[in-house]
Structure 1
Amino acid sequence: MTNYDITIHTRDRQRVSFVCSEAEDLLFAAERESILLPSQCRKGTCGACVATVTAGAYHLGEVSTEALPESAQVRGDVLLCRTYPRADLILEAPYDYNYIRFERIPERVAEVIDVTMVATGTRRLLLRLQPDTQGGAAEFEAGQFMEIQVPGGEARRAYSLANNTNWNGDLEFFITLRPDGAFSTYLESALVGDRLNIRGPLGTFTLRENGLQPRWFVGGGTGLVPLLSMLRRMADWGETLPARLYFGARYEDELFCQEEIRQIQDKLPQLQVKICLSRPGNEWAGYRGSVMEALRDDLGSLAASPDLYVCGSTRLVQGVTELALSQGLPDSSLRFERFLSA
């Protein structure tokens, strides 16, 4: 079997190299050498492991065109989990070197502390890490996610963390229930005291230091979750950057974490919040329209270009991206994460 040399250049002009056979995808080959490149679904559907091939031949397996549009494929963009080398490859990654880890993904055991229905179709899951050789603290970057193993099987599901790093070992999630979803089915009967296997933290959807640049956060449904983690970190650190939160849902009974958002505002008085309902009832006093419409209104009257942090469905991410670029925001100002059904 033929092996090829793979070199990935990061955004900050560093590089990482490994060997990959023609039968392996690039992500698997890197992990075999204890190089953990940013990824999420490993099925070619989320786009988290995107990179651009600048030299060399390869075979690209089946991918979702929502995660990797055909126009992107034409310019050499690939998903590492679906890319098989046919020659030595040189690639460029859209993240810095410090997002690559050279170790095994931490695997821990966590106990279920609370399972509560907080809105129509959404449950809060609170886990607490069990002390082990890694200690008992929950250490992660705001915006990252954990993979939780579905009890009784090997499948894992990725969920963003809503809280901030803490010494108690608490991991807070808000999870949309999916019909017939493997982990959603478990949550229907989950009990306090259950033990779950988790992996992580993972993910590069984190806050970027960019001087005094305003930060705007845009979330649809449980796309709010990693944004809450980021805002809580800003509040804990006493940051004074201008900030806005756009949280969108269809109906009022789908909203959650309203009190948590108010608590964040108490610590971040500069934070402006706009709760948007696309199908509001007669008594709704907030923004009447989609989060996209609210964002379009405000981007049209910009005094300073913000960094946009967007999390939600592929449709929301694509819509916000197109809107931002049409309003003159640079591509470098956009950071996003798509949510997948689980």
Structure 2
Amino acid sequence: MMGHSVALNFADGKTFFISVQEDELLLNAAIRQGINLPLDCREGVCGTCQGQCETGIYEQEYVDEDALSERDLAERKMLACQTRVKSNAAFYFDHSSEMCHAGETLKIASKVTNLELVSESTAILHVDASSYTKQLEFLPGQYARLQIPETEDWRSYSFANRPNPDNQLQFLIRLLPDGVMSNYLRERCHVGQTIMMEAPLGSFYLREVQRPLVFIAGGTGLSAFLGMLDNIAEQADAPAIQLFYGVNQETDLCEQSRLQAYAERMPHFNYQPIVTQSSETWTGKTGYIHQHLNRDQLAEQAFDMYLCGPPPMIEAVKSWLDEQALSNYRLYSEKFLQSNSARIALDA
């Protein structure tokens, strides 16, 4: 009997996918598959196995009011020992995965299939991860760590496409003047070369879509949104989506034809490229993304905002939101550091 695919997300940024049968308690399914969620009473009283449902449909059996309040329940907090899932779902647990003795994330030997220069400063690395014989599951917006061949160095990059049965994966990578990965891509990368990959990772990912979305991408922060848009485009009823895409110069813009293709598939999707340093040929918007946000438009209805890019961009947008005194949004963000060796994901 086929089960539901359930993502268990933890505070240390690790995600594990498990299969849960229709009549199976979430806690039992996790333990059966080697993820020992903290537990005590197993009767819905102590609250030890508490988490929060981020996407999907679920039902709970008995939940004592001392374990979860009415407000907790309204916020989709749940007890794993009392939860039965009714669809594919994702749950967040506010503790390290190490508490569950869940082991390591997957490490996969992938092969380079193509290196595509998509702007003067950006490339898409295509890899074949089919050495992992199952479909690699990850949430739209998550990332993988890639080991630069012939070194001990690892760098982190967001998936730029959705999971697929053949495990053909893409990563949007900024080419730095003297970066370890950048030098490898320019000088030594060739088709067929092995790149070790660790995945999935990250707490920045697309939550259940229940209202309009505002995506704000800085530079190669676009990569996470390409993965999200790939996923949303497959849905029957895509929501209203605004994408603001900021780069330094017009020549840094990439994947414009792909974004246009999304717009043709999703009537309520529109994107706005914004260039910080305009040239004589640039006829679009110039400046910083927060300067082009429209308070009146955003205030019309509740929305979810996702930010991915360099820290100054994210802080500028957050400051703008504070100044506008808006309260009708949920905010999720991930800061990219220049080396791409680390990132910080924040929810607000």
**TM, length-normalised to structure 2:** 0.66
Verify: 1:327 aligned to 2:314, yes or no.
Answer: no
Query: 1:49-92 deviations in whole A, cap 9, x for unaligned?
Result: xxxxxxxxxxxxxxxxxxxxxxxxxxxxxxxxxxxxxxxxxxxx
What residue number does 1:199 align with? 198
Which of residues 261, 264, 267 is equivalent to 1:263?
A: 261
Q: Within 1, Cα distance between the matches of 2:266 and 2:139?
A: 19
Contact preservation (8 Å) 1:129, 1:137: no
Partner of 1:207, secondary structure, is: coil
Change (3 A) 1:331 1:159: farther
1:229 Cα deviation after fit: 0.9
1:262 Cα deviation after fit: 0.8
Which of residues 128, 134, 137 is equivalent to 2:135?
A: 137
Contact preservation (8 Å) 2:130, 2:168: no
Q: Within 1, Cα distance between the matches of 2:279 and 2:265?
A: 31
Any unmatched runs of 5+ in structure 2?
Answer: 1-9, 12-33, 38-90, 340-348
Verify: 1:316 aligned to 2:307, yes or no.
Answer: no
Q: Within 1, Cα distance between the matches of 2:162 and 2:335?
A: 21
What residue number does 1:70 align with? none
1:214 Cα deviation after fit: 1.1
Verify: 1:208 aligned to 2:207, yes or no.
Answer: yes
The alignment-based identity, stated in percent, is: 28
What residue number does 1:160 align with? 158
Verify: 1:305 aligned to 2:302, yes or no.
Answer: yes
Query: 1:215-248 deviations in whole A, cap 9, x for unaligned?
Result: 0000011011101111111111233321100001
Q: Within 2, Cα distance between the matches of 1:131 and 1:163?
A: 18
Q: Runs (4+) of structure 1 moved beyond 4 Å?
A: 33-36, 98-101
Change (3 A) 1:280 1:151: same
Verify: 1:223 aligned to 2:245, yes or no.
Answer: no
Q: Which deviates further from its counterpart, 160-169 or 233-242?
A: 233-242
Q: Within 2, Cα distance between the matches of 1:331 and 1:103?
A: 39
Contact preservation (8 Å) 1:251, 1:277: yes
Contact preservation (8 Å) 2:113, 2:192: yes
What residue number does 2:178 align with? 180
Change (3 A) 1:105 1:260: same
1:99 Cα deviation after fit: 9.0
Query: 1:277-324 deviations in whole A, cap 9, x for unaligned?
Result: 1222233232233222112xx134331132110011010111111112
Change (3 A) 1:154 1:330: farther
Any unmatched runs of 5+ in structure 1?
Answer: 1-8, 11-32, 37-94
Query: 1:247-292 deviations in whole A, cap 9, x for unaligned?
Result: 0112111100001101111221101211111222233232233222
Change (3 A) 1:185 1:35: farther
What residue number does 1:341 align with? 338
Q: Within 2, Cα distance between the matches of 1:336 and 1:252?
A: 25
1:325 Cα deviation after fit: 2.3
Where does 1:16-95 land on structure 2 (aligned, <5 Å)?
none
**What amino acid maps onto 2:297 in structure 1?**
S
1:341 Cα deviation after fit: 2.1
Change (3 A) 1:98 1:195: farther
RMSD over aligned Cα, in angstroms?
2.5
Query: 1:14-72 deviations in whole A, cap 9, x for unaligned?
Result: xxxxxxxxxxxxxxxxxxx9899xxxxxxxxxxxxxxxxxxxxxxxxxxxxxxxxxxxx
Q: Within 2, Cα distance between the matches of 1:291 and 1:184?
A: 27
Partner of 1:228, secondary structure, is: helix
Q: Within 2, Cα distance between the matches of 1:245 and 1:199?
A: 29
What residue number does 2:250 align with? 252
What residue number does 2:236 align with? 238
Partner of 2:226, secondary structure, is: helix
**TM, length-normalised to structure 1:** 0.67
Partner of 2:259, secondary structure, is: helix
Contact preservation (8 Å) 1:149, 1:157: yes
Q: Which deviates further from its counterpart, 301-310 or 107-116?
A: 301-310
- Number of aligned positions between the proteins: 249
